[in-house]
Chains A and B, each alone.
Chain A
Amino acid sequence: MSAQLSLSEMDLPRRNGELAFDAPWQSTVFALAAAVVDHAFGGDREPFRRQLIKAIADEPGRPYWESWTAALEALVETLPDGPHRDET
């Protein structure tokens, strides 16, 4: 059952400051979620977190950043239409 645990991570325990992303789209979607949290929800991360929890629960075996993407898509669906800013 532990096959999905990436033991290669354990081979580099002192990789402080390691790269967290395996592909550019992953860092992009990470930053996009930060942008939405900051600029559409006034810094409140809870709505995104709820979507992420749901996305992971919906498909537990799905790669993490794909669940993250699904969560952001679902969150964007809840935004009112049109340009939206609540911060300068």
Chain B
Amino acid sequence: MSEEGHHPAALSPVEQRVAALEALLTERGLVPEGFIEEITRRYESEIGPMNGAKVVARAWADPEYKQRLLAEGTAAIAELGFGGEEGEHMVVVENTAAVHNVVVCTLCSCYPWPVLGLPPAWYKDPPYRARMVREPRALLAEMGCQLPGDVEIRVWDSSAEVRYLVLPQRPPGTERMTEAELAGLVTRDSMIGVARL
């Protein structure tokens, strides 16, 4: 592989197809100059689970915000400046001692981009999409999230209409933490519901 270098002849079939698409769409005036670089930069550095973590930390620190977040997810998330494509209809579901929520998209890969960025590879894989519906408890355990038998698991199927975000339980012993410190505790996986904090 490496001896092939980076000259055009070394392009894989899929790279050739993408290059052909880029050439065609550019010729048709659909790809403004710098658009690809700008989109890539935004998704790699500005949009990601750090945004969702701020939402969760605010909800933990401010009970009134939490109420608004659970009642009107999209609007409450927009209060913190997050929104836009793939995040128009956000529903936030709260984990409690008795209920654990987990999110899947059985059809493709619907995912709340403004608060979580792009979905991780496993979220898009058929085994995750199929098994999280069929046997969530077993799959969660395989993914390192062991739940007591008396905890109810609720599986939410994302769609074009609704994107779900899990509000994890606030870990014990964090009462004196600042909001920024709390945000540092929140992981992407906890907001999908495949991990607990």
Assembled-state Cα–Cα distance A36/B35 (Å): 11
Residues in B whose Cβ lies below 8 Å from that of A14? 187
Cβ-defined contact, A60 with B126, below 8 A:
yes
- The prevalent SS among residues of A at the interface is helix
Say whether B40 contacts A84, CB under 8 Å: no
Indicate with 1 or 0, residue by residue over B81-103, a CB within 8 angstroms of chain A CB atoms: 00001100000000000000000
Complex Cα gap A72–B188 (Å): 28
The answer on a CB contact under 8 Å between A20 and B43 is yes
Count chain B residues whose beta carbon lies closer than 8 angstroms to a beta carbon of A: 53
Q: How far is the CB of B105 from chain A (nearest CB, A)?
A: 10
B-side residues, CB < 8 A to A, are 14-15, 17-19, 21-22, 24-25, 27-32, 35-36, 39-40, 43-45, 48-50, 53, 85-86, 107-110, 117-118, 120-122, 124-128, 131, 139, 142-144, 160, 187-190, 195
A-B contact pairs, 11 of them (CB 8 A): A2-B131, A17-B117, A35-B36, A49-B160, A52-B108, A52-B109, A64-B109, A64-B125, A73-B17, A79-B28, A84-B30
